[in-house]
């Protein structure tokens, strides 16, 4: 006799449809998620600032009484928002002691769109301090632990979101990605993370709207179809943004025979790789080949060292512009972690000529990809499997010393530097049952095609559903 299926096992799209049809209630879905949180979250610490249960149940009952309004595709779905986003009347700390008591009066633009689409916000998901570093720990809430091995890192900065998805605490989640923060934790927790084309998900209308940011918000889920559901909500233009993209209207049904994937591998040995990372990703590429895709090895002509140099300049400059006021106040500087101070001081040291030179490299790389006779590029989502959760960052990869706190994640910058859409799909597991992801990188604006390709792969593999964590 088969075990009855739990509501927390359903895809978000299926739950949304059942909720819209009133086949299930918002209270039923919420209670299932809260039960799962009670059972699992103490071991992984993925969800933080959970709202009081009585408040959540009262809100669910109110939603059930009124029913969904028109144009609320996410109605009734519980979600915990990444703790880098402002959420009205809910603690929003960015993982920093400087904001340990911060309760915003307004939602961020993305959160307001999710709320308008009908989500039930239950709390936040854990992050590294200010989102810096691909390991989700901070002095307020502590360490988020991997869904498949609680002694290992969950990745970051969307580590809490990825673990909450993998363990069934949430049906869908938001994340953000500057240096792989949607891709690394997705890969390390056997779920999907999608970094949209720069500008597709509009940011808050404040500050300099002309300088293209290196970071973007995006969706995470246990299937591309679920990510697509969220991206149709948050991937909408904002008339106050001068550098946006047309509205995202849903994924394309792709014919794999029309897809050519350039496998960059380790960029001719430039990226140090832990044993079995490449093998795991090549096994995933074999699935794409079996589906009909053309797979070929591709080595870019641009020097990878130049991308790293450009990235460091532009990233540190961006961090410094955002955080210099904190650094200039000695009392606040004392509460910043060392990596943050290093980023700010690096950024403040660069000249206009340095920034211009980095922009030239960035532009050269964009032009090279734009001219490629390939639809997609592929790289591992990380250069190593999840590391010990009790260290700050890995000092070596495959015996090679890492000279910065983020060098071990260098493999994500080819997409981040030029704002390309990229999705991390589950690739499989190491001999020690640690997950790895495969990055698929599309050309600018080809989000719908990339999402459709990921969904085709998912239908052939269903890694999250077929290999859930044993927790």
Q: What is the pLDDT of residues 345-395, one digit of tens each?
A: 999 999 999 999 999 999 999 999 999 999 999 999 999 999 999 999 999
CA distance 151 to 116: 38
pLDDT of residue 423 exceeding 60, the answer is: yes
Element (H, E) at 95: none
Strand partners, 125: 47, 82
The CA–CA distances, whole Å, from 294 to 153, 207, 224, 256, 376 equal 34, 44, 21, 8, 10
Element (H, E) at 340: helix 338-349
User: What is the reported pLDDT for 26?
Assistant: 98
- In 3D space, the residue among 464, 419, 19 whose CA is nearest the CA of residue 212 turns out to be 419
Residues 109/234, Cβ–Cβ less than 8 Å: no
Characterize the bridge pairing of strands 396-397 and 400-401.
Answer: antiparallel
User: What is the reported pLDDT for 458?
Assistant: 98
**Average pLDDT of the chain?**
97
The pTM (predicted TM-score) of the whole model is 0.98
User: What is the reported pLDDT for 64?
Assistant: 98
197, two tokens: 């084309």
Q: What is the pLDDT of residues 101-128, one digit of tens each?
A: 999 999 999 999 999 999 999 999 999 9
pLDDT of residue 213 exceeding 90, the answer is: no
Domains of the chain, earliest start first: 9-298+372-466 (3.90.1300.10)
Q: Average pLDDT, stretch 250-267?
A: 98
User: What is the reported pLDDT for 211?
Assistant: 79
pLDDT of residue 3 exceeding 60, the answer is: no
Which backbone phi and psi does 448 adopt, to 5 degrees?
Answer: -65, -40
Q: Average pLDDT, stretch 322-326?
A: 95
CA angle 296, 299, 302 (to 5 degrees): 150
pLDDT band at 210 (very low <50, low <70, confident <90, very high): confident
Q: Average pLDDT, stretch 192-206?
A: 96
User: What is the reported pLDDT for 1?
Assistant: 39
- Other CB atoms within 10 A of residue 226 CB: 27
Q: Is 397 exposed, middle or buried (0-12, 13-18, 19+ CB in 10 A)?
A: buried
Q: What is the pLDDT of residues 160-182, one digit of tens each?
A: 999 999 999 999 999 999 999 99
Residues 324/348, Cβ–Cβ less than 8 Å: yes
């Amino acid at each position: 006799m088969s075990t009855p299926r739990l509501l927390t096992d359903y895809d978000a799209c299926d739950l949304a449809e059942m909720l819209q049809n009133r086949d299930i209630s918002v209270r039923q879905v919420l209670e299932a998620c809260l039960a799962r949180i009670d059972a699992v979250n103490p071991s992984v610490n993925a969800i933080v600032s959970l709202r009081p249960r009585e408040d959540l149940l009262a809100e669910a009952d109110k939603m059930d009484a009124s029913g969904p309004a028109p144009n609320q595709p996410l109605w009734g779905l519980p979600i915990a928002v990444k703790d880098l986003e402002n959420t009205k009347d809910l603690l929003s700390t960015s993982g920093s002691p400087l904001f340990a008591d911060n309760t915003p009066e307004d939602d961020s633009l993305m959160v307001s769109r999710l709320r308008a689409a009908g989500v039930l916000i239950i709390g936040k998901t854990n992050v590294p301090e200010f989102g810096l570093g691909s390991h989700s720990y901070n002095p307020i809430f502590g360490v988020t632990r991997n869904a498949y091995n609680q002694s290992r890192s969950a990745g970051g900065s969307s580590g809490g979101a990825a673990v909450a998805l993998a363990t069934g605490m949430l049906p869908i989640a938001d994340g953000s990605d500057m240096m792989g923060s949607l891709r690394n934790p997705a890969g390390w927790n056997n779920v999907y993370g999608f970094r949209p084309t720069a500008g597709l998900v509009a940011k808050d209308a404040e500050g300099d709207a002309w300088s293209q940011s290196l970071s973007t918000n995006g969706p995470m889920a246990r299937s591309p179809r679920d990510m697509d559901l969220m991206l149709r909500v948050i991937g909408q233009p904002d008339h106050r943004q001068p550098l946006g993209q047309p509205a995202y209207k849903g994924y394309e049904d792709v014919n794999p025979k029309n897809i050519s994937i350039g496998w960059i591998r380790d960029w001719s040995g430039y990226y140090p790789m832990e044993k079995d990372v490449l093998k795991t990703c090549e096994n995933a590429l074999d699935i794409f080949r079996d589906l009909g895709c053309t797979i070929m090895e591709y080595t870019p002509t641009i020097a990878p060292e130049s991308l790293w140099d450009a990235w460091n300049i532009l990233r540190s400059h961006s961090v410094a512009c955002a955080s210099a006021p904190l650094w200039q106040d000695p009392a606040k500087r004392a509460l910043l972690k060392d990596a943050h101070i290093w980023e700010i001081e690096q950024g403040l040291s660069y000249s206009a000529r340095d920034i211009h030179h980095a922009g030239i490299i960035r532009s050269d790389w964009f032009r090279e990809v734009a001219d490629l006779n390939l639809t997609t590029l592929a790289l591992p989502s990380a250069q190593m499997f999840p590391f010990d959760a009790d260290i700050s960052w890995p000092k070596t990869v495959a015996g090679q010393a890492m000279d910065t706190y983020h060098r071990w994640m260098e493999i994500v910058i080819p997409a981040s530097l030029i704002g390309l859409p990229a999705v991390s799909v589950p690739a499989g597991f190491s001999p020690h049952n640690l997950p790895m992801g495969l990055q698929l990188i599309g050309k600018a604006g080809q989000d719908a095609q990339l999402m459709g390709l990921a969904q085709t792969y998912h239908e052939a593999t269903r890694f999250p559903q077929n290999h859930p964590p044993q927790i």
